[in-house]
């Protein structure tokens, strides 16, 4: 049974930014456009992106529930650069292969082991 969606229901986004030093930053917000502007404006001197501006949005995924968004954010933060690049390219076959190779090398106790068993969120790349 599908519950009706209220227009007031919040939407949460997990977003990934490509920083000027080629590193990635991942976060959660309920307003991607505003958050991207805040990163590029350098509002918080203590933020990872402050000295790595400008930043560009390269991935975002939509969630209805904040706990799911936080879980996805934590998962992405544990991923290798190669897996993040595959995600940006929406190459789930490559992500699966990289996870398989990682498990073969390090075993099923790795943080990346959870990646293959989780549901893929609704994603878009920017």
pTM above 0.95, yes or no: no
Q: Could you report the per-residue pLDDT of 56-100, keeping only the tens digit for each?
A: 999 999 999 999 999 999 999 999 999 999 999 999 999 999 988
CB 53 within 8 A of CB 45: no
Determine which of 20-24, 35-39, 91-95, 116-120 has the lowest per-residue pLDDT on average: 116-120
- Who's near 90: CB < 8 A, 6+ residues apart? 123, 125
Instruction: Give me the pLDDT at residue 87, please.
Output: 97
113 has a pLDDT exceeding 50: no
Pick the CATH number of 12-124 from 3.40.1010, 2.30.42, 3.40.1130, 3.40.1440: 3.40.1440
Query: How sure is the predictor about 120, in pLDDT bands with cuts at 50, 70 and 90?
Result: low
Instruction: Give me the pLDDT at residue 100, please.
Output: 85
CB 57 within 8 A of CB 124: no
Domains of the chain, residue spans:
12-124
9 has a pLDDT exceeding 90: no
Task: Specify the 3-state DSSP secondary structure of 9.
Answer: coil
Looking at the chain, how many residues does it have?
A: 126
Give me the helices (H) in the chain, please: 32-41, 66-77, 81-88, 92-106, 113-117
């Amino acid at each position: 049974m599908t519950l009706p969606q209220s227009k007031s229901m919040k939407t949460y986004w997990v977003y990934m930014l490509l920083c000027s030093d080629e590193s990635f930053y991942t976060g959660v917000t309920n307003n991607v456009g505003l958050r991207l502007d805040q990163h590029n404006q350098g509002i918080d001197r203590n933020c990872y992106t402050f000295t790595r501006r400008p930043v560009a949005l390269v991935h975002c995924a939509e969630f209805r529930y904040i706990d799911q968004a936080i879980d996805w954010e934590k998962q992405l933060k544990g991923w290798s650069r190669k897996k993040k690049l595959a995600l940006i390219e929406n190459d789930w076959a490559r992500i699966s292969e990289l996870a398989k190779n990682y498990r073969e090398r390090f075993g099923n106790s790795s943080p990346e082991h959870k990646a293959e068993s989780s549901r893929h969120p609704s994603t878009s790349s920017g």
